[in-house]
Chains A and B, each alone.
Chain A
Amino acid sequence: MNMPILGKHLRYLSAGAAVAVFFALSGPSFAATPADTLVEGFAIDDIISLDPGEAFELSTAEVTGNSYSLLVRLDLDDTTQVKADIADSWTVSDDGLTYTFKLKPELKFASGNPITADDVVFSVERLIKMDKSPAFLFGQFGLTGDNVTEKVKAIDPLTVSFTVDKPYATSFVLNVLTSTAGAVLDKKLVMEHAKAVTPSDEYKWDTDFGNDWLKTNSAGSGPFKVVTWKANEAVVLERNDEYFGEAAKMKRVIYRHMKESAGQRLALENGDIDVARNLEPGDFEAATANPDLATISAPKGTVYYISLNQKNPNLSKPEVIEAFKYLVDYDAIGATLIKGIGEIHQSFLPKGQLGSIDDKPYTFDVVKAKDLLAKAGLADGFTVSMDTRNTQPVTGIAENFQQTLAQAGVKLEIIPGDGKQTLTKYRARQHDMYIGQWGSDYFDPNSNAETFTANPDNSDEGKVKTLAWRNAWDPKDLDAETKAALLEKDSAKRAAMYQDLQRKVLESGPFVVIYQQIEVAAYSSKLKGFKLGPSYDTNLVAPISKE
C-alpha cells in the first residue's frame, strides 16, 4: 500500500531535483572571464574590413595596432618622437628624398615566415595598388600604382629604400609610417590567399592582393593575431608566440560588440567583461564611484564635427555655414551630453598636436543665426537631413542640434543608421549633413589639416578622398597652404601656418567642430597595465595582465 505513494513522492522529488539542477545550470554565472583572456566591451559596428590596406575605422585601428608591426612606431612616452619597431635603423639622404631602412634580422611573422625587405615593399605596393581609403596616406608621397615599384625597393633582404617626391619634414614622413596603413604584411601568406581578378579600367591588377581573405584574418607580426571577426558580434585576437618583442601577457583578447553604455556597465559590474570602452557620462560616473572598478581617461586625437555637404545648394551658402556654427548649444552639450568624455573644441586640430589653437569664437546665438539665414534668403528656414550613427553621444547631440536648428526655423531630419551605413553614404557624398568623428591617422598636424583643407579634385571621381572632398568643399587657397606647411622645416613657422589654416576653416569651412574626445574606459581592478594611447592604434593590449 505504501509503495505507490512512496513512488509518487519519489517522482515528485526527482522531478523537483531535475528542475533544481536545470536552474542551477542555466542560472547566472558569476565573474566569469577566464584568467588568460581579456574581454572588452566595445562598440565595433564601424568595422568594415580588417585589411590594413582597406580599413580606415577607429575600432579597426585598434585591432591593426595590436596585430601588425610597423617599420617605426610612435614613442608613447614622448609622442613627438618615433621609435624603431621592425626597423633597426634608418637614414635620410641629403636631399631629403630617399629614406633607407635597415630591418632587424631574423624576425618572424605570426605564420613563422621570416620578415624581409620584400614584405615591406609588398605591403606598400599593395596599399597603393588596391587604392582603398587609407591609400592616400602613402599616396601623398607621390606614390602611384605605376611608380610604386620604382619608389619603394628592396636593396637587399634586410634593406628597404623609400623615395618621396618632395623634401618633406622628416618627422612628417616617419609619423605617416606609424599609421595603420604602414602595417607590414606577410607577403607569402597573403598571396597564398589572393584571388584572381579580371583587370578593368578602375582596377588594373589581376589579383585582389588577398583583400578578400584579409577582411577577416590577419597576416602580421604584432603581439596578437586575429582569430576571427564576426560583424557586430566580436573580434577575437590570440597571442602571437612568434612575436619578437615582449610577449603579450594574455593568451586571448576578445572585443565583444556591445553598443549600449548601460549594457557595458552591467556586464562590467557582473564580471562578464573586463573593460567597458563606450561608457556614457552617467555610467562612467557610476563606475568611478565603484570600488571594484578602476577608470582611466586619455585625450584622443579625435574631434567630433558636423559637416555640411556643399552639393546641397542651401548648405553651400556661406551665411548658412556660419549660421549653423551659431546653432550648436556648445555650453549645454559640454555640461551634459559629453561631460567627462569630451571637451568643447572648435578648431580642427586636437589639443596636443603642433600648432593646435583653442579659439572658441562661436557660442549658441539664435538671433545672429536668424540674421545670417535671412541674409542668405532663407528667413523662412528649410529642411535638411543628417546621417547619424546610432550611438551616443552622437545621437544625443544630433537631437539637441535638431531642437536648436528648429529655433532658427531649420527643420532637421535625422536619418539613423549603423556605422557602416552612414559611413558608406558619407564616403559616396550622398548625404546632406553628417555628424561624426575624425581621428588623426598619425600624430602630425598634417593629418587633420589635410583631411579638412585639401581637395585637389572636387569632382565625384576625385582620388584624394579627404573630408573636404566628401563634403564637396573646394578649399581654394587652403589646399596650397596645407601643402606648403608640409614642406616647412622650421617648426615655429610650420605651427603658425597651421594656426592660420584652423582660423580660416573656423571662419568659412563647412565643418562645425564641436568637441575633442576624451576617451574613457572603466575596467576591473584585477587588471594591471591597462592604458589608453593618444590614438586608437596605440591602445595596446599586450602589456595588460590579470591578477
Chain B
Amino acid sequence: MTDPSSPAPSTASNESWREWLLTAEPHSRNQARLGRAYVTWRRFSENRLAVTGLLIIVALVLVAIFADLLAPHSATVGDLAGARLLPPGSPGFLLGTDDQGRDILSRLLVGSRITLAVVALVAIIAAPVGLLIGTVSGFAGGYVDAVLMRVTDIFLAFPKLILALAFVAALGPGIENAVIAIALTSWPPYARLARAETLGVRNSDYIAAVHLMGASPARIVIRHIMPMCLSSLIVRVTLDMAGIILTAAGLGFLGLGAQPPLPEWGTMIASGRRFILDQWWVATMPGIAILIVSLGFNLLGDGLRDALDPRGAGR
C-alpha cells in the first residue's frame, strides 16, 4: 500500500473519486494535498459571488490574450473625419467612438492587456519583496527587525497615491514607471502581514525540529516559514489588485501613467471627461470596465479568504 497510485480508482465513478479525495486516512502526501485542494475548491465554489469574481478575472485574462482577434477595429488608429464621437450602438461601433474616431470597444479590449500587465507586474514585484522583508524581519528579530520595520513604517506613513505620484514625477511619466511606482508603494502591507504570520510560527515545535536537524536560517525561512504566510498573502494581494488597478488608472488620469495612444483605461477616462456633457459614453465605458474588473478582483479575494482561512477548515 505504499504505491500512491494504487488506491486510485481507474474506472470508477465520481463518487469514488470524491471518497478518495476526502478520505480521512490519505495514503500519500500527494493524496493529502489533492484532498486539501479539493476541500478548498468546494468551499470556494459554494460561494457564488466568489465564483462570479473568478469568472470575471478568467474572462479578463482570455480577453487580454485574444484581444487582437476580438477587437473589431484598431485600438490606436481612428477615423477622425468619418467616425468621430459616434454614440454607442452605431453600426460597427458597439460602444461608440472617441474624439479621435477610435472604436471604444477595441480600445477597452486591448487596454485590458495593460491593466492585467500592471496588476501582474505589481503583484510579481511587490508580493515577493514584502514576503521576504516580512519573514526575515519576523524570524531574525532584534536589530534586523527594528531596521526593516522602521523602513516599512516610513513607506506606510505616506498616502499611497501621493507617494506613487512623487515617484512617477521623479522617474518621468510612462506605464513602466507607473508600475515601478505602484510596486514601490504597495509592498509594506505585505511585509507587515508576513512578519505577523512569521511571529506566529517561529517558536513552534516544527521550526525547532528543523533547526535541530541543522537547517540554516535561510532554509527555514524559505522552506518552512514562507509557505505558512502564502495563503494569507495571496488573499491580501488579490484584494489589493482592485486598488492597484485604481491607482494605475488614477495615474493615467493625471497624465502620469500610460501615454497616448496606449488605450489605458484611466487615460481614456481622462480624455473622455472633456465630452462628458454631450458625449457621455467616451468616459463612461472605460469607467464601467474599471468597475467590473475591480469588482471581480474584490469578489475573488473575498472568496479566497473564506476558502483559505485555516480556522474555517473544519466547517
In residues 239-263 of chain B, which contact A (Cβ within 8 Å)?
A: 255, 259-261
In residues 157-191 of chain B, which contact A (Cβ within 8 Å)?
A: 173
Structural contact, B100 and A399, CB atoms closer than 8 A: yes
Proximity string of chain B (73-84) to chain A, C-beta cutoff 8 Å, 1 when within and 0 when not = 000111011001
Complex interface: chain B residues within 8 A of A335 (CB): 81
Complex interface: chain B residues within 8 A of A337 (CB): 80, 99
B17 at the interface (CB under 8 A from A): no
Closest to B74 in A: A403
A378 at the interface (CB under 8 A from B): no
Structural contact, A402 and B80, CB atoms closer than 8 A: no
Closest to B172 in A: A415
Structural contact, A262 and B80, CB atoms closer than 8 A: no
Structural contact, B255 and A403, CB atoms closer than 8 A: no
User: Which of B78, B100, B173, B277 makes the CB contact (< 8 A) with A265?
Assistant: B277
Given contacts A337-B80, A390-B255, A403-B261, contact A396 B99 (CB under 8 A): yes
Can you list 24 residue pairs at the A/B interface with Cβ under 8 Å? A260-B273, A261-B274, A262-B273, A262-B274, A262-B275, A282-B85, A282-B278, A332-B81, A335-B81, A336-B80, A336-B81, A336-B84, A390-B255, A395-B271, A396-B100, A399-B100, A400-B80, A400-B100, A403-B77, A403-B78, A403-B100, A406-B76, A416-B173, A416-B259
Complex interface: chain A residues within 8 A of B100 (CB): 396, 399-400, 403
Interchain residue pairs A-B with the least CB separation, the first 3: A332-B81, A332-B80, A403-B77
A266 at the interface (CB under 8 A from B): yes
Docked Cα-Cα span, A415 to B173, in Å, equals: 8
Closest to B82 in A: A332
In residues 98-127 of chain B, which contact A (Cβ within 8 Å)?
A: 99-101
A333 at the interface (CB under 8 A from B): yes
Q: Which of the four size classes fits the interface of chain B?
A: 20 to 34
B8 at the interface (CB under 8 A from A): no
Closest to B277 in A: A262
Structural contact, B80 and A286, CB atoms closer than 8 A: no
Q: Is the interface of A mostly helix, strand, loop or mixed?
A: helix
B276 at the interface (CB under 8 A from A): yes
Complex interface: chain A residues within 8 A of B84 (CB): 336
A329 at the interface (CB under 8 A from B): yes
Structural contact, B276 and A262, CB atoms closer than 8 A: yes
Binding site for A on B (CB under 8 A): 76-78, 80-81, 84-85, 99-101, 173, 255, 259-261, 271, 273-279
In residues 331-352 of chain A, which contact B (Cβ within 8 Å)?
A: 331-333, 335-337
Structural contact, B81 and A331, CB atoms closer than 8 A: yes
A173 at the interface (CB under 8 A from B): no
Closest to B174 in A: A413
Question: Which of B76, B77, B260, B261 counts the most A-chain CB atoms under 10 A from its CB?
Answer: B260
Q: Which of the four size classes fits the interface of chain A?
A: 20 to 34
Structural contact, B274 and A280, CB atoms closer than 8 A: yes
A371 at the interface (CB under 8 A from B): no
A488 at the interface (CB under 8 A from B): no
Docked Cα-Cα span, A108 to B14, in Å, equals: 101
CB distance from B175 to the nearest CB of A (A): 12
A479 at the interface (CB under 8 A from B): no
Structural contact, A399 and B261, CB atoms closer than 8 A: yes
Docked Cα-Cα span, A416 to B270, in Å, equals: 13
Complex interface: chain A residues within 8 A of B101 (CB): 336
Complex interface: chain B residues within 8 A of A336 (CB): 80-81, 84, 101
Docked Cα-Cα span, A414 to B271, in Å, equals: 14
CB distance from A411 to the nearest CB of B (A): 10
Docked Cα-Cα span, A329 to B100, in Å, equals: 12
Complex interface: chain B residues within 8 A of A403 (CB): 76-78, 100, 261
A481 at the interface (CB under 8 A from B): no
Question: Which of A282, A283, A407 counts the most B-chain CB atoms under 10 A from its CB?
Answer: A282
CB distance from A276 to the nearest CB of B (A): 13
Structural contact, B277 and A286, CB atoms closer than 8 A: yes
Closest to A269 in B: B277
Complex interface: chain A residues within 8 A of B76 (CB): 403, 406
A392 at the interface (CB under 8 A from B): yes
User: Which of A392, A402, A415 makes the CB contact (< 8 A) with B261?
Assistant: A402
Given contacts A262-B273, A286-B278, contact A329 B259 (CB under 8 A): no
In residues 299-339 of chain A, which contact B (Cβ within 8 Å)?
A: 329, 331-333, 335-337
CB distance from A162 to the nearest CB of B (A): 47
Known: A335-B81, A414-B259, A415-B259. 7 other contacts (CB 8 A): A260-B274, A280-B274, A331-B81, A396-B99, A403-B78, A403-B100, A413-B259
